[in-house]
Amino acid sequence: MFAIEHYCKAESAEDAVRFLAANPEAKVIAGGTDVLIRLHEGSKAYGNLVDINGLTELKEITEEADGTVRIGSMATFSEIMDSDIVSRRVPVIAEAVGTVGGPQLRNMATMGGNICNGAVSADSAGALLVHEADLVILGADGERVASVLGFHQGPGRVALKQGDLLTSFRIRPENYKGFGAAYYKYAMRDAMDIATIGCTAATRLDGDQIDELRLAFTVAAPKPIRCEHAEKSATGKSLSEKTLKAVSDAVEKDVKPRTSWRATKEFRLHIIRTLTERVVRQAAERAGGKF
């Protein structure tokens, strides 16, 4: 039995925002794969729901004339994996969401829900961070655009106000063109497990040198992060084992792993260093580089 007191099936994004504004306790339900678990556990936080599941306008995946890729917040992981636009333009997003749960979950769960729940382990977070996605948010005061950089504020906390609805992700061409990118999820099992550590890298090359490295981790700090020191250590460096080692040394200044029942802090740090070398190498090779 779920403790749902009020339920509203939104007919449009504007309708959902109106309902949220009129009901300060109301929360969005998208695919429901987090919300229904919370309700099943007896949480009262989700007793007043606005359901955006039927809003096909929030599911679209399109490429705009200037090359900006737009992914609706209600696009499920399966729809993202099947998208020709995503595979051609931002394939690391498909690679990352393909590691979430299992097929049944991916048919229901959305990328909007994965980012709005603020999970430290969200598999889509790293890919969105390295592509510096813009988030289009509809609220009581109209529409605004916020960067995913800075959106995660701590475990379970994101920069959304009560009544805000994330409608889409936008990835501008300057944030994906020329980059090779890769994701690796280190987990105890190959499926139906959340990440012990997730590592995403995007690399743009200038000949045999690294022009720009973008490196993101999940579960390496209290929120998904970009790694400023590691990124700077790679700029202008040649593709070599020495560079990879220098980047994995520098990453220690960016991360703050903790001990949990899944893994100790020391083990996580070892995985972070190992994945830094492996995933940066793969991203550079996908950008056409050779070591």
Residue among 62 and 162 whose Cβ is closer to ligand FAD: 162
Q: How many helices (H) and strands (E) does the chain have?
A: 11, 14
List the x/- string, 129-168, binding to ligand FAD by CB under 6 A: -------------------------------x----xx--
> Token pair of 123, please?
């598999």
Nearest CA-CA partner of 83 in 53, 55, 106, 54: 106
Residue among 103 and 207 whose Cβ is closer to ligand FAD: 103
Residue among 122 and 287 whose Cβ is closer to ligand FAD: 122
Asked if 113 touches ligand FAD (CB under 6 A), the answer is yes
For ligand FAD, the binding residues in 71-110 under the rule CB under 6 A are 73, 100-101, 105, 109-110
**Among 23, 87, 107, 117, which residue sits at the site for ligand FAD (rule: CB under 6 A)?**
117
List the x/- string, 4-33, binding to ligand FAD by CB under 6 A: -----------------------xxxxxxx
CB atoms within 10 A of CB 102: 10
Residue among 171 and 213 whose Cβ is closer to ligand FAD: 171
Distance of CA 215 to the CA centre of its chain: 13
**Among 194, 225, 269, 272, which residue sits at the site for ligand FAD (rule: CB under 6 A)?**
194
For ligand FAD, the binding residues in 206-245 under the rule CB under 6 A are none
Nearest CA-CA partner of 130 in 286, 283, 288, 285: 283
> Token pair of 268, please?
């996580």
Query: How many whole angstroms separate alpha carbon 219 and alpha carbon 246?
Result: 22
Query: How many whole angstroms separate alpha carbon 270 and alpha carbon 133?
Result: 29
Residue among 120 and 251 whose Cβ is closer to ligand FAD: 120
Phi first, then psi, for residue 128 (nearest 5°) are -70, -35
CA distances in angstroms from 247 to 200, 233, 251, listed in the order given: 14, 6, 6
Please identify the residue of the shown chain whose CB is closest to the bound ligand FAD. Answer: 113
- Please answer whether residues 60 and 72 qualify as being in contact, where contact means their C-beta atoms are separated by less than 8 angstroms: yes
Beta carbon of residue 285, minimum distance to ligand FAD (angstroms, whole number):
26
Report the interface residues with ligand FAD, using CB under 6 A: 27-35, 37, 73, 100-101, 105, 109-110, 112-114, 116-117, 119, 121-123, 160, 165-166, 192, 194
